[in-house]
Every structure is written in structure tokens, then in C-alpha cells.
Amino acid sequence: MSDGHSGLPGTVEEVAAEVPKTQRLFPIFAKGRKTVHLVRHGQSTYNEAISGPGSWNEPNIFDAPLTKLGRSQATALGSFLAKLPKDAVWVTSPLTRAMETCVYGYKASLQVKAAQRRKAASMREAAIGLASHQKTGSGLPPSGRRRSRLSNGGLPSGVGTSRASDENGYLDGDPMLGTTPAPNRIDEIDEPGSRDAGAVSGGKYPAAVANGYGEERTPAPVREPLRTVGSDLGELAPDANGASPCDSDLDQAEMMAWGDKVFVSHHLSEKLSTSGDIGRCKGVLMNEFPLLAGGLSRLPGDVWWYNQHHRPNDAERQQFLSHEPTQKFKDRVERFRSWLTSRDEKVFVVFGHSTFFKQLTGGHRSLKNCEGDSAATLLAKLQARNRVEVDAFRAVFEAHAGAQRQARVLQERVATLNRRCAELSEGKEKAEADLKTANEAAAKGTAVKDQSARISELQTELAASYKQHAESSQQVIAAKEQQAKAEDELVTAQNALAIAERERDEARERGSELEAALEEFRAAAETATSEAEARLLARNEAVAKAEAMETENASLVERLMQMKMAEAEKMNEINDLYDDLQRQKKSAEMRAIASDLSAASAESMSSLAAAVGGANAFGSVYFPARKRLAIRANVGGTHRVAFTPGGDVLATAGDDRTVALFDAGSGNPTGPERLTAATGALLDVDFSGGDSGGAGSDVLMVLGAGTDRALRLWDATTGRTRHTLTGHAEKVVSAKFCPWNYARAVSCSHDRTIKVWDLERGFCKASIMCASNCNSVTYGESAAVVISGHYDGAARIWDLRQKPGGACDPVEVRGHSQHVTAVTMMPTNRGQFITSSRDNTLKLVDLRSGRAEVVRTLKASGYRSGTQWANPCVAPDGRHVVAGGADGGVFVWNLIDGGLKVTLRGHDVAVATCAWSQSGLVTADKNGVAIVWSG
């Protein structure tokens, strides 16, 4: 039944009355058969989502309800469903859109029945009034009044009469409008965008059929529109015209009785191939459809739709992970077919879905929402089929009919001429008799002259008659010739018709072959689609597994590196402990012979005092000998310390995500005290010159690098953040201002890149890819040279002028067996730099020879590198180098001869960083304690 159409003819007699006797339908409305009415649900929100232009995409609408248009379509079924017999069996799918169509259609049928009862009551009242008017002697209505259109002597049809019902429950043996029983055939009905399904053989019962020629025809126009049912699923509002409380109570009782009889069959649900075909558990449906609670309670379980444990389909959780196999779907259709044939009832109305109906009927067309096949639509389709077959031979038939008409006209003219000839023959005989009589009279006497004149006239008339008879004979001959010609044309047309019929039969055979080939192609396409979907799903799972494995591998590599670093530090601590034990043993041995070496010790101390005095006298730089201040710098640990160029302010960066500022002389916090805004631990800090450069004249700036993959530029006076520089993909381990232009800076990260920054505008000017992780970076002898230390134990010198915006082909210095922790430039000669490494050595590299060679190696038996990014420092005069050890010692080497000068003790844990300026030496450890040393 098409969307929104009602008011079609109510009986077979009305349909037959509209068909000429020469175009009667086949006797398909036979009694005693089982009739199944297939009704597709109204438009759902899923149908609406995929009905627009463009490519089809899965809208993920689970168990879609009806739209406003779908509810109107379901309501329009009222007049169709009102004609069902009372013992008809109602069956619906447990999907929401089918049950809503069923409930809305039934409620609309109640409204139609109520309207019919009110109309019958008003007609009875009119008949009673007319009968009482006749009894009062008023007689017939006065002339001029319009007669009533009611038949049966003014009584409405059906009043005072009874109509017997047949075994199917139809009145006078007429099936209800909208059914088309046909033996052994249920045609296929499909939804928009649904899948093709293979044809199956018809069941043992007739059912509603679609147009066998695949044509889409619009049913008869609406004659009497129904009242609109409310958009909710509540009770129907009583009609405004004559509705009574009794009617309302009757409707409610009927609805409750009807709801208990409705079958809700999970076999009837749609083939699960979209999210809209996934149902909900029966408890939720029983709450939402209390009228159908009895049928819903008979569902096999909460999960009655197709589902797999490892690939579930769940509307509540919005999961659509598997499709129902075609064979399972066909088996379910066969079970429903068997259920229908096993029932004793004669009339069924089934609310379901297009693909299910298509598989059930083996048809080849799709019905629209709420569409079925009625007697009127069947009549329209038969007439359309007749027009298609007749139009091909219309010209031949018209020519043949014209020839027959012309032959009939000629035959009539010949008959007329024959009659005329007979009359003329009779006149001739009469004239001859008169002539004979006249001759006899002339012989007798006086009337001879008159008879002669009469004879002359009759002879003239006879000659004219002969002439007219000759002309008529010629016309008859011509008519016979035309008739023969028309008969020849008729024979030719009949031959052409036979040829056309043979061609039509051949075309039908070819069409059947093409349909079979199309079905095979569709089956193959469906199989290929299923295989492609399975392969795509397997590919997606493989990709997901590969990504998960890559992520896990990266995590494992990171954990492995951390474990190796931790193991290396533990080995260093064990070695340091062993060295301490050895020193204690030697100390005990030395105390045993201390009395014998007192004189030598005194002499040695005198020599050491003289040497220290000589160092303090060099320039204005003192030699550190004792701990002057201890500062609690950072919470958790300090990774880097730095002095301002004047040496009056000390900055520390550590795990507490801040840069702490202290007065170098008193150790008290100064300025903004702490520079914040970092979101990760800070691994490096550096001061600008404060007296030149593009970052602001006379403005002291602080540059910090941290594990949050960003650099931050602070104003050291106000503590305000000037820029946050992002671009590195991993933690930033080192950052330095350009000594010649403080508007430039260089940084390095564990993403294997070195970046050059414009600090005025806050963006990256150049990025250099490295072959190994970079742990430290600084400017070399000019602003165009950058020196970096790497995890592979090499130091690399990059010339930024070799390539615009970058550098290539660096000069490598491989002096260490383990990774380089820091690179420090010599303050007195920028053609040389110091590298420190986890191999527990320091190297002095000279660039002045043009080939970057190691000219000095510094090491000590008790020295172990403190941390992953431990940095050494150089005295302002360039004579001594300081590095922190893993045992808490501060080691001072003489750079002239490479010997260890002194080891300072004051830290309890590994020393991570140090810095030396005109105002003193500062070291900091992993506990966040900074110590200022004095001479």
C-alpha cells in the first residue's frame, strides 16, 4: 500500500465495475485460500539518513524508529486494515519501526471503524425519520426537490440486510482491499538501499504480490482522507464528532484484546547488514510497547537478533561488528514460511522489512515504505501491461479496423444497389405489363395515344434504370476489389502480428536468461562483497595489531634504555664504593706508619700551600678549597646551574619545573626568585649578556629547556615569559644563547634534531637532522658554527653556512667510547672545547689545526661521571677544569699538565652540574643542593 493513500474501492464488485467486460481480471480472488498481506514499515530515521544525495555512508542509527512521515504513512493504513476480518492473524517484526507501523496502523483502523459506526448511525436515524414522514401521509417529496441518493427505497445500503461471510471471514466472499492472492508466489519487496537476495521457490500459500513486470505504479488517489493519529504511541483521541465514552471504552478493550493476540516473531526481523537492523532487548521493548508485551515476552531471549560473542552487535552500546550470513538469513526465512503454512488461520497481515519480503517472495522489485499491492494497484498494473503489449500493434489493428469499416460500408452500398436493382426489375416488369395492356387498349380504341405516351415514358424510365443498374454494378465491382485488397492487407497484418508475437516470445526468453544471469552476478557480487569486507576487517585488525606492537616496541626500547642507564649508574656506584673501601684500607695502613712519615707529610703540606698560593695569585681568580655556602636550590634534584656574565646572580634548573635565582654572594633568592610556566623538568638554563643583542637592550634574559619538549624565554627582571618555543618532538636537553647575538639561540633534543631559533619573533630558523641522539649543544668559534655531543660518543661541528637554513656534512670527533654528556667551550680560546662522557673521561679538542683533534685527556681513578647530562666547567683563566663525580666528589684538574689537582668533598650524592665564574665555583647534586666554594 503506497504512502498516504486510502479510500480505494472496498469490494471486488467495485473493482470489477471499473473494468470493462472485455478487460476482466483473472479470477485471483478465489475463496477458500490462505491469504497473506505483506506490509513494509513506514519511513524510519535510518531510511531518512541515507535517502539524500551523495555516496552512501553508514549513519550508525541503531533500531531506528519511524519519522514523522513514517508515522503518517502508518496512519494511512487505517482504511486498509479496517477491512480485515476479525479472525485475521497479526504478525510483526520485533524491530521498533515495524512494531510502530503495526500499532499506528491498528489504532488508525479503530478510528476508521468508529467513523463508519457513526456514519451508519446517522444514516439509520435519517431512514427512521424518512419512514415516520411517510407514515404521516406526506407522500412523495414535492416536485423540484432533489431525490435522495440512497438506494433500496431510501434506506442506506446495508441497513436491514445481512451479508454472509465465507470461510476466510470476508463479507459475501469478497477479500479485503489491498490483497492479491496468487498461488505459489510471493514477490520480493525491498527497502531503499537494501541488498539483493536470491530468489526462492514460492510457498504453499498465496500472498500479496508486487508488479511482475518490475514497474513502479502509484495507487489510486485518496478519496476520503483519514483522521490524523497523534505522533505519540498513547491512546487515540476520541473523534470530535459524536465520540462517546462507550466508544472509547470499547476501543480500549479491543486494543488490549488485539495486543494479546499479536505475534512478535524474531524470524521476521530484517537481515542484519546495517546498524538499523540491530534490535534491543525484550525488556526495553516491553516497556516501550506495553500493548505488545504479550508477544514480546515470547521472544527467545534478550539478544534475539544475530550476534557473535567475539564480534557483538549491541544497540545499547552502539556496537556494529558483524553481518548476518546469507545462509542463516535464508534459513530464518524458511522457518517463518513453515510457521505460516502450519497455521490453520486463513488471513494474515505481516509487518516486516523489504529484504525479508524479497527473500520470502522471490520477487524482483522493491516496495516503498508502507506499500503493498491492492486490487486497484493490480488493476493499474494489468492495464499498464496491456497498454505496453497493445501499443506495439496498435497501428496494425487500427489499419485492419479501418479496412473492415470500409468493407462494411461498401457491403452496405452493394446491398442498397441490389435492392435498388430489384425494385427497378419489378418496375420494368410492371411497365411491360402496362405496355401490353396499353397495346391491347390501343387496339381496342380511343386510349391508344395515351397508352403510347405512357409507354414512351416508361421506356425512358426503363433506360434510365438500366443505366443506373450498370453504374451500381460497376460500384459493386469496385467495392469487391477494395474488399479483396483489405482482406490482403488483413492477412499481411496478421502475418506481421504473428512475427511480432514470436519476437515478443524470444524477447521474453532473452529477458529470463538475462534475469538468471543477473541473479548469478548479484550472488557473485554479494559473495565478493562479503569476502572483501572480511579481508578489510582482517587488514584493519592486522594494522591495529602492528600499531600496538610498534607502540609496545617503542615503550620497551625506552624502558630498556632506562634500565641500561640505571644499571650503568649502579655499576658506577659499586665501583665508587669499592674505591672508597680501598681508600679506607689504605688510610688504615697509612695511620699505622703515620709516625714515621710525619716529617714528610709536613713538607708535602708546605709544598701544597705554596702551590695553592701561587694559583690564587694568578690574575684575580681564586682556587676553591672550602665550602662557603649550601643552598637548597630545587625540589627533587638540580640538572644545571649558570651564572650571569657578571657572576652576581646564580640560576638553577631542576625537577621542580622552575628556574631558581639566587644572589651569588649571599645565597639569598633574588629578583622574581623563581621562573615558572614549564610543564616538565628543566634540564638546561642559560643567561643572555644583558647589554646587547636583539632580544632587548640591557634586558637580562633566561633561556630554559625541559622535558615538556619546549624552550621558554623569561625576562630575568620581571619573571614574565617572553616566548614558548615549540617544535621538538622529544624532550629538549640543551639550549644556549648565541654569544654574539642574544636574539639567536640553539637547542638540541632526543628527537635527533638541532634547531636554531629567532628569539625576537619566536620561531625556528633552521633545523638539523642528526644521526644520533644529541645530549648537548653550544656555539663554537663564531655564530655560524655549532658544536654538539651525541649518544654515539662523537662530537660534531656544524657549519650553518654550508646550506641555507641548515647544515650538512659535519666534522666528527670520536674520542669517547660511550655517549657524550656535555660540550663546554674554553673561555679564553673558542677554538678549543671540553667534552665529558659516560666513559669517565674528559677530552680537550683543538679546532685550530683545521682537523679537530684531541690534545688532552683528563681522568682520575676515583672519578665516575655523575649523571646522564653531567657537565664540566672551566675556570675563567682557562687553567683548571672541574667535573662532578658519582660519589659526590668535585674533581679539579690542571689543564696544563692534565693532572688531578684536588678533590673537594661536600655532597652526599652524585654531582650533576657545576659552573665557575669570577665570583666563585658552584656545584649542584641530584638532591637539589647547590654548594658555593671559596678559596
SS3 103: helix
Q: Looking at the DSSP assignment, which residues form a beta bridge with residue 856?
A: 844
pLDDT band at 54 (very low <50, low <70, confident <90, very high): low
- Average pLDDT on 488-503 reads 90
Q: Are 873 and 915 in contact (CB under 8 A)?
A: yes
For 926, other C-beta atoms within 10 Å of its C-beta total 24
Q: Are 684 and 653 in contact (CB under 8 A)?
A: yes
Counting beta carbons within 10 angstroms of the beta carbon of residue 248, is it exposed (0 to 12), middle (13 to 18) or buried (19 or more)? middle
pLDDT for 12: 35
Residue among 505, 298, 293 nearest 389 (CA): 505
pLDDT for 380: 64
Q: Which residues contact 466 (CB under 8 A, 6 or more apart)?
A: 424
Q: Are 554 and 562 in contact (CB under 8 A)?
A: no
Reply yes or no on whether the pLDDT at 24 is more than 70: no
Share of the chain above pLDDT 70, in %: 74
- Average pLDDT on 760-777 reads 92
The per-residue pLDDT for range 413-444, each reduced to its tens digit, is 899 998 888 888 888 888 888 888 877 776 67
Reply yes or no on whether the pLDDT at 674 is more than 90: yes
Comparing 244 with 786, which gets the higher pLDDT?
A: 786
- Average pLDDT on 575-600 reads 65
Residue listed under C-alpha cell 534491543: 280
Tally of helices (H runs) and strands (E runs) in the chain: 14, 34
Reply yes or no on whether the pLDDT at 916 is more than 90: yes
CA distances from 379 to 23, 26, 74, 219, 349 (A): 10, 10, 23, 10, 21
Q: Are 36 and 208 in contact (CB under 8 A)?
A: yes
Q: Are 892 and 901 in contact (CB under 8 A)?
A: yes
Please tell me what DSSP assigns to residue 235.
Answer: P
Q: Are 681 and 664 in contact (CB under 8 A)?
A: no
Residue among 814, 811, 763, 750 nearest 786 (CA): 811
R_g (Cα) of the chain, nearest Å = 56
pLDDT band at 803 (very low <50, low <70, confident <90, very high): low
The per-residue pLDDT for range 142-176, each reduced to its tens digit, is 444 444 333 333 333 333 333 333 433 333 333 33
357, three cell numbers: 519480503
- Average pLDDT on 113-142 reads 75
The per-residue pLDDT for range 840-877, each reduced to its tens digit, is 999 999 988 777 889 999 999 889 988 888 999 999 99
Q: 83-87, 131-135, 891-895, 917-921: which range is least confident on average?
A: 131-135
Identify which of 197-206, 543-552, 654-663 has the greatest average pLDDT.
654-663
Diameter of the chain measured on Cα atoms: 218
Q: Which residues contact 767 (CB under 8 A, 6 or more apart)?
A: 727, 753, 754, 755, 756, 805, 806
Strand 347-352 relative to strand 626-632, pairing: unpaired
pLDDT for 375: 46
Please state the φ and ψ torsions of residue 631, each to the nearest 5 degrees. Answer: -120, 135
pLDDT for 726: 94
Q: At what angle do helices 326-342 and 354-361 cross, to 10 degrees?
A: 70
Residue listed under C-alpha cell 519480503: 357
pLDDT band at 364 (very low <50, low <70, confident <90, very high): low
Residue listed under C-alpha cell 617572553: 722
SS3 619: coil
The per-residue pLDDT for range 823-843, each reduced to its tens digit, is 999 998 888 999 999 999 999
**Residues 878, 826: Cα–Cα separation, whole Å:** 7
- According to CATH, what is the number of the domain 626-934? 2.130.10.10
pTM of the model as a whole: 0.40
Reply yes or no on whether the pLDDT at 22 is more than 60: no
Reply yes or no on whether the pLDDT at 104 is more than 50: yes
Strand 263-264 relative to strand 89-92, pairing: parallel
Comparing 773 with 234, which gets the higher pLDDT?
A: 773
The per-residue pLDDT for range 675-703, each reduced to its tens digit, is 998 999 999 999 997 544 444 446 899 99
pLDDT for 808: 64
502, three cell numbers: 514470436
Q: 14-23, 462-471, 530-539: which range is least confident on average?
A: 14-23
730, three cell numbers: 622529544
Q: Are 934 and 622 in contact (CB under 8 A)?
A: yes
Segment 223-226 long-range contacts (CB within 8 Å, at least 24 positions apart): 223/6, 223/7, 223/8, 224/6, 224/7, 224/79, 225/6, 225/7, 226/6, 226/75, 226/76, 226/78, 226/79, 226/108, 226/111, 226/112
pLDDT band at 7 (very low <50, low <70, confident <90, very high): very low
The per-residue pLDDT for range 567-584, each reduced to its tens digit, is 877 787 787 777 777 777
Write down the H helix ranges in 18-77.
Answer: 45-49, 68-75
Q: 237-246, 307-316, 476-485: which range is least confident on average?
A: 237-246
**Residues 786, 739: Cα–Cα separation, whole Å:** 12
Q: Which residues contact 524 (CB under 8 A, 6 or more apart)?
A: none
Burial 511-534 (b: 16+ CB within 10 A, else e): eeeeeeeeeeeeeeeeeeeeeeee
Angle at 325 between CA 319 and CA 331, to 5 degrees: 125
Q: Give CA 96 to chain center in angstroms.
A: 22
Residue among 798, 821, 797, 806 nearest 767 (CA): 806
Reply yes or no on whether the pLDDT at 6 is more than 50: no
Q: Which residues contact 878 (CB under 8 A, 6 or more apart)?
A: 826, 827, 828, 829, 895
Q: Mind spelling out the 3-state secondary structure of 594-614?
A: HHHHHHHHHHHHHHHHHHHHH
Residue 824: CA atoms inside 13 Å, Cβ hemisphere, count? 32
Reply yes or no on whether the pLDDT at 108 is more than 80: yes
**Residues 909, 927: Cα–Cα separation, whole Å:** 7
Residue count (the chain): 935
Residue listed under C-alpha cell 470530535: 240
Reply yes or no on whether the pLDDT at 651 is more than 60: yes
Q: Which residues contact 348 (CB under 8 A, 6 or more apart)?
A: 34, 35, 36, 37, 88, 89, 91, 340
pLDDT for 882: 95
Q: Are 711 and 662 in contact (CB under 8 A)?
A: no
Residue listed under C-alpha cell 522489512: 353
Please state the φ and ψ torsions of residue 533, each to the nearest 5 degrees. Answer: -65, -40
**Residues 196, 738: Cα–Cα separation, whole Å:** 73
The dihedral built from the CA positions of residue 433, 438, 440 and 441, taken in this order, carries a sign that is: positive
SS3 729: coil
511, three cell numbers: 529477458
Residue among 838, 915, 873, 890 nearest 653 (CA): 915
Counting beta carbons within 10 angstroms of the beta carbon of residue 5, is it exposed (0 to 12), middle (13 to 18) or buried (19 or more)? buried
Identify which of 307-311, 366-370, 804-808 has the greatest average pLDDT.
307-311
Q: Which residues contact 55 (CB under 8 A, 6 or more apart)?
A: none
Reply yes or no on whether the pLDDT at 782 is more than 80: yes
Residue among 393, 384, 90 nearest 218 (CA): 384
404, three cell numbers: 473492415
pLDDT for 859: 92
pLDDT band at 198 (very low <50, low <70, confident <90, very high): very low
**Residues 911, 864: Cα–Cα separation, whole Å:** 10
**Residues 612, 790: Cα–Cα separation, whole Å:** 36
For 199, other C-beta atoms within 10 Å of its C-beta total 17
Please tell me what DSSP assigns to residue 309.
Answer: S
Q: Are 255 and 106 in contact (CB under 8 A)?
A: yes
Q: Are 921 and 902 in contact (CB under 8 A)?
A: no
